[in-house]
Amino acid sequence: MSRTLLRGARVITMAADRPDAEHVDILVDGDRIAEIGQDLDAPDTEPLDLTGRVILPGLVNAHLHTWQTGLRAVGADWTLMEYLTHLHGSAVQHYRPDDMYVSNLAGALNQINCGTTTLGDWCHNSLTPEHADAALEGLVHAGIRAVFLHGTPYRDPDLPHPLAEIDRLLEGPVRGHELLTLGMAVQGPQYSSPDAAVADFRAAHERGLIVSLHQSGGDLAPGWEAVRDAGLFGPRTNVVHGSELPDGWVRTLVEAGVTFTSTPENELGQGHGAPVTGSLLRLGAAPSLGTDVETVVPGQILTAARIALAHQRGLDHARHRRSTGTHSNTPSVTAKQALAWATVEGAKALGLAGQVGRIEPGMQADLVAVDTRALNLWPAHDPIAAALHSDIANIEAVMVAGRWRKRDHALLNCDLGKVKDRLQESGERLLHAMDTV
């Protein structure tokens, strides 16, 4: 196994017992972080001088419908209802397995390019086993770490999740793959009958899988109480959006260990309702973050972090002025908290908190090097802020499980021209099919 010694950078470990940023070396041995410290003596290593850079844990995009990459930006002006009508009412039926493959391949490569090393791929267009296998193949060929959240197009509320397919994936394509984990993207208590919702949660619990569900604005359906009364909400439950959930329900779910994933740019723009961030922070909890749908918004998780931070600060400033009549003298949320939402909290939401999200010995070597020598970040007085304010052009290098996937600002081991051509062909065919429905 290869050994790499990273020197010269300022390191943001996101570990609770270390400084916000520090000048330390990182020794990578195989797929794991072996040691962190100053002036490490590590023979038989490949040294790499990263002076002028900031190293942080690989970013986590906890919620992305990667299968929509081929239709990127077609719905930039869609409301939520228009999105549901055009995508789920029309486009899904025209997807072929090859469309799933190239969208997941291109979408995952883009995530790596943006500094994301772990992806929550919410794949609710697994029309057939061949569609699911093709989507998984795209993730594997991209080289990203992923939790493949298997889902299907919206169906009868009384129909439970297809468990035969879950078991097939567990025993086949996902089994033993070092970068893949399986989860269930269920219709959830909002869109299933109480019996079906309970059955899905129980099936996920029996298999030890993350169960993830959508919920956006409006009155809660009876399935919520059914799942709660069955005692099935817990740390492996992930609520996506959670917009406008009553405070009492947010408290109940947080106390049960449930995680939340907010996709703030999409939620604010399409009409999901106000992001759940403030409700969580008031309870001592925090959201993870996703970018949701590239048919509507771009897929940069750091953009999502900045929007979530600015939106919550804006709400808190307004609340302070209403209650005191003056401006607040201190920020209610910090840049480091926002960065944690895109690292530590994302890992927690996907059931990977013991593997990724922090730079510590024994953790997976998922790392991002940000080039702070660029004009938009220099001088980088605050490494935390520099990392949060960085863009694709600043993401110099990305490592997943000890393997470089991006170096010198370029993705490795992929024919981008071929991928882009296939993606364009797929997207144009799907758009034509949508226009003719």
The pair of structure tokens assigned to 292 is 């949701």
The pLDDT of residue 133 is above 80: yes
Average pLDDT over every residue of 261-286: 96
Indicate the pLDDT class of residue 2, thresholds 50, 70 and 90.
confident
Q: Of 284, 318, 341, which one is at a domain's C-terminal end?
A: 341
How many CB atoms neighbour CB 410 within 10 A? 11
Distance CA 142, CA 411 (A): 10
pLDDT at 1: 54
Query: Is there a domain that residue 140 lies in?
Result: yes
- Residue 201, in any domain of the structure: yes
Q: Which residues, listed in sequence order, are joined to residue 339 by a DSSP beta bridge? A: none
Same domain, 273 and 365: no
The H or E element containing residue 120 is: strand 116-123
Only one residue has tokens 């035969």, namely 164
Per-residue pLDDT tens for 88-111? 999 999 999 999 999 999 999 999
Same domain, 266 and 125: yes
| 281 class by beta-carbon count within 10 Å (0-12 exposed, 13-18 middle, 19+ buried) | middle
Q: Are residues 133 and 206 in the same domain?
A: yes
Q: Are residues 224 and 158 in the same domain?
A: yes
The answer to whether residue 94 is domain-embedded is: yes
Report residue 338 CA to chain centroid gap: 14
- Do residues 33 and 363 make contact, with C-beta atoms less than 8 angstroms apart? yes
- Residue 422 inside a domain? The answer is no
Do 275 and 360 lie in one domain? The reply is no
Residue 395 burial (10 A CB sphere; 0-12, 13-18, 19+): buried
CATH number at residue 192: 3.20.20.140
Res 436 pLDDT > 70: no
In a domain, 423, yes or no: no
Question: For all residues of the chain together, what is the average pLDDT?
Answer: 96
Write down the residue that tokens 């808190």 correspond to.
316
Nearest to 136 by CA among 123, 118, 124, 117: 123
- The DSSP output letter for 90 is T
Percent of the chain with pLDDT strictly greater than 70 = 99
Question: What is the rounded distance in angstroms from the CA atom of residue 348 to the CA atom of residue 352?
Answer: 6
Q: Model confidence over 363-387: pLDDT tens digits?
A: 999 999 999 999 999 999 999 999 9
Residues 156 and 299 in one domain: yes
Of 183, 194, 205, nearest in space to 157 by CA: 194
The pLDDT tens digits for 24-56 are: 999 999 999 999 999 998 888 889 999 999 999
Which residues, in sequence order, are CB contacts of 68 under 8 Å at separation 6+?
A: 87, 103, 107, 293, 294, 295
Q: Identify the residue whose tokens are 């970068």.
A: 179
Whether 284 and 379 share a structural domain: no
End-to-end CA, the chain: 53
Question: Residue 368 belongs to what domain range?
Answer: 3-57+356-408
Residues 15 and 102 both lie in one domain: no
If one counts every other C-beta atom within 10 angstroms of the C-beta of residue 271, the result is 16
Task: Check which CATH number belongs to the domain holding 40 and give it.
Answer: 2.30.40.10
On whether residue 204 sits in a domain, the answer given is yes
Q: How far apart are CA 199 and CA 342, in angstroms?
A: 31
Concatenate the DSSP letters of all residues of 197-218 into one string. HHHHHHHHHHHT-EEEEEEESS
Contacts of 113 (CB under 8 A, 6+ apart): 392, 395, 398, 406, 411
Is the pLDDT at 259 greater than 60, yes or no? yes
Beta-strand runs (E) in 255-351: 259-262, 288-289
Say if 212 falls within a structural domain. Answer: yes
Out of 299, 314, 341, pick the residue that ends a domain: 341
pLDDT digits (tens, 9 = 90+) for 296-320: 999 999 999 999 999 999 999 999 9
What's the predicted TM-score (pTM) here?
0.97
What's the number of domains the chain is made of?
2
Residue ending a domain, choose from 341, 375, 391:
341
Q: Does 206 lie in the same domain as 168?
A: yes
Q: How many residues are recorded in the chain? A: 437
In a domain, 431, yes or no: no
User: In 124-258, which ranges are continuous DSSP H helix?
Assistant: 129-142, 163-171, 188-191, 194-207, 223-229, 247-255
190: left (phi over 0), alpha (psi -120 to 50) or beta: alpha
Q: Are the CB atoms for 98 and 437 separated by under 8 Å?
A: no
List the one residue out of 47, 41, 43 whose CA is nearest residue 7: 47
- Do 139 and 37 lie in a common domain? no
d(CA 42, CA 151): 46
Residue 112 region by backbone torsions, left for phi larger than 0, else alpha for psi between -120 and 50, else beta:
alpha
Residue 204 shares a structural domain with residue 248: yes
**266 and 382 fall within a common domain:** no
